[in-house]
Amino acid sequence: MSTSNLESLRFPIARAAKSNEPPKELIQLQDTCPLAKLQLFDGTPTWIATKHKDICQLLSTKGLSNERYSQPGYPELYPSGKKATAETPTFVHLDDPKHAEQRAMIEELFTRERIAALRPEIQRIVDHVLDAIVEKGCAQGPVDLVEDFATPIPTRIIYGILGVPEKDIPELSKASAIRLSTSGSATDAGDKHLHDYMSALVDKRIQAPGDPKDDLISKLVVEQYRPGHVTRDDIQRLAYLVLVAGNAAVISSISLGVLTLLQNPEQLNVLKEDSSTATAVAVTEEVLRYHTPSSLNSRRVAKQDTIVGGKIIKAGEGIVGAVQAGNRDPDMFTNPHNFDIRRDIDPDKNLAFGYGPHRCQAQWLSRVELEVAFATLFKRLPKLRLAVQPEDLEYTSATQNVGVSHLPVYF
Ligand code: HEM
């Protein structure tokens, strides 16, 4: 790719129409210009790193900051990001030591051990969601797996972690679905409802923490609010963050994973014949690598001149770790553009959850949700098949994180 072509590229680069593949120009950059300077939507220049090793370096070096709200050079990808810069930051957009301090407040609920103990509950929820699909049946037409399977699983699980009472879940799920819809005004309405609900729940827990007090909000009230380490609003912000942070990525991972398995029947048969945790782990890790459904948030701004991939990122300049490209780097993964559940991926090398101190706090939770979802879906519904041609599927907007809008199936 020539330099003049490069200068005309805008980041995020659009995916091809009707495709869930990373933009081909992003992959070309890895070969021709692994540390490239592209423009954002408003013409601001930003660095884009596409090699796995450079992305790991930039996401773990102290010279680059994730303090989005206090530094004008932080790369914003859409006009709405400019609005977001007025918000009070959670730890997601703070640097250490403040980041580590806040992250630690909820870490206990997301450790690998704690999530392993949650597996039976996740299985119960997935079974329950599938019971409803079986009961509905497809005599009246195909079932949309995005709406009826991929969405309720992470939504219900996160409500459980937050301590939302069972009786409130149906109504809140409706608000979550509205929030995830693409219509701007509907999204705002869903947001407001969820905000108001979480605000009321925080007040309720401050008056009387749940019993047992192991839900996230009660834990923050007892351990952080009562001793005076955080304010009521801090708790609300953290609870809302956990509620919305990763739902869309889990939904996309489940939906795209099911689609990709259906398109690779020989690999799907491996899972159908052996739905053990080990096989589900291999499927999940490869789905996450291959699709990398949260690929636009690994962004940083240089606090001081910092060398990445042999180039100087000057203080104040923005840089994006293109994790979707990093997960297709041939120096790290053989035949990276092939979907292959037989790879033995080291989870630490999988960039789907980012890298370094800001690596996704819910990575183990998300993995177990996917493992249980894939294994159980094809065990319960082995005849599951697409109700439309793959080329008729609709995807999320071409410059946003990859996701499929609907996945109509028969079973
Ligand atoms: C498949 C599902 C998911 C994917 C692919 C994903 C991806 C990511 C990525 C790439 C980052 C790093 C951002 C950065 O470097 O700036 C991240 C951070 C984070 N994710 Fe996830 N995520 C998923 C699910 C979730 C869920 C379900 C939750 C909430 C329970 C969650 C909560 C967070 C939080 C709190 C952070 C910030 C961590 C920090 O700054 O220390 N994620 N996620």
**CA–CA gap between residue 315 and residue 320 (Å, rounded):** 15
Residue 113, phi then psi, degrees to nearest 5: -65, -45
DSSP code string of 288-323: HHHH-S--S--EEEESS-EEETTEEE-TT-EEEE-H
Q: How confident is the model at residue 189 (pLDDT cuts 50, 70, 90)?
A: low
Q: What is the pTM of this model?
A: 0.95
Is the CB–ligand 1 distance for residue 249 below 6 Å?
yes
Give me the residue spans of the domains in the chain.
3-410
**CA–CA gap between residue 396 and residue 385 (Å, rounded):** 22
Ligand 1 atom having least distance to the Cα of 91: 40
**CA–CA gap between residue 255 and residue 265 (Å, rounded):** 16
Is the CB–ligand 1 distance for residue 298 below 6 Å?
yes
pLDDT per position as a tens digit, 28-73: 999 999 999 999 999 999 999 999 999 999 999 999 999 998 898 9
Is the CB–ligand 1 distance for residue 294 below 6 Å?
yes
Is the CB–ligand 1 distance for residue 210 below 6 Å?
no
- Closest residue by Cα to atom 14, ligand 1, is 298
Is the CB–ligand 1 distance for residue 354 below 6 Å?
yes
Model pLDDT, residue 1: 57
Is the CB–ligand 1 distance for residue 403 below 6 Å?
no
Ligand 1 atom having least distance to the Cα of 299: 16
Residue 149, phi then psi, degrees to nearest 5: -125, -60
Q: How confident is the model at residue 182 (pLDDT cuts 50, 70, 90)?
A: low
Q: Compute the distance from residue 396 Cα to the ligand 1 centre, in Å.
A: 19
Model pLDDT, residue 190: 64
Q: How confident is the model at residue 4 (pLDDT cuts 50, 70, 90)?
A: low
Indicate the fold that domain 3-410 takes in CATH.
Cytochrome p450 (1.10.630)
Q: Residue range 102-108: average pLDDT?
A: 96
Q: How confident is the model at residue 172 (pLDDT cuts 50, 70, 90)?
A: confident
Mean pLDDT of the chain: 93
pLDDT per position as a tens digit, 320-349: 999 999 999 999 999 999 999 999 999 999
pLDDT per position as a tens digit, 215-259: 999 999 999 999 999 999 999 999 999 998 889 999 999 999 999
Identify the residue with better confidence: 88 or 34: 34
pLDDT per position as a tens digit, 258-313: 999 999 999 999 999 999 999 999 999 999 999 999 999 999 999 999 999 999 99
**CA–CA gap between residue 391 and residue 257 (Å, rounded):** 16
